[in-house]
Amino acid sequence: ETGVTQSPTHLIKTRGQQVTLRCSSQSGHNTVSWYQQALGQGPQFIFQYYREEENGRGNFPPRFSGLQFPNYSSELNVNALELDDSALYLCASSLGGASGDTQYFGPGTRLTVL
């Protein structure tokens, strides 16, 4: 157990809807990164938040957005859901957003878009 929690565990939505996924970081960690993992693939970086500011973004459209709160928990919001958004969404927290910091992953939220 890493101490990183995610909710919900599973979620089913229909195309066009909006979804919010939540992540609580490990105690003492101020950096949260979000990844999307399609079936049979490795995780792909969506974005990272460091002390409530976006600190880098991967190749995802603007309908993927996020927030980090003062307690360093985070949300991932996806608007206008598409079938290809079906995936396991992983968040990872780390100590300071520096190179070499170990990222501790949560168990993920499995999103199914019908």
Q: For other proteins, which is the closer residue by CB, 38 or 114?
A: 38
To other proteins, the closest distance from the beta carbon of 11 in angstroms equals: 15
Instruction: Report the residue from 43, 74, 93, 111 that binds other proteins according to the rule CB under 8 A.
Output: 43
Q: How many residues bind other proteins (CB under 8 A)?
A: 31
To other proteins, the closest distance from the beta carbon of 20 in angstroms equals: 19
Q: What is the largest CA-CA distance in the chain?
A: 39
The reply on whether position 60 binds other proteins by CB under 8 A is no
Instruction: Count Cβ atoms below 10 Å from residue 114 Cβ, excluding itself.
Output: 10
- Which one-letter amino acid corresponds to residue 58? G
Q: For other proteins, which is the closer residue by CB, 62 or 100?
A: 100
The reply on whether position 111 binds other proteins by CB under 8 A is no
Sign of CA dihedral 27, 107, 13, 44: positive
Tokens of 69: 């709160």
Task: Give the C-alpha separation, 104 to 92, whole Å.
Answer: 5
- By C-alpha distance, which of 32, 37, 12 is closest to 22? 32
Instruction: Report the residue from 26, 33, 68, 93 that binds other proteins according to the rule CB under 8 A.
Output: 33
Q: Which residue has the tokens 């957005």?
A: 65
To other proteins, the closest distance from the beta carbon of 48 in angstroms equals: 6
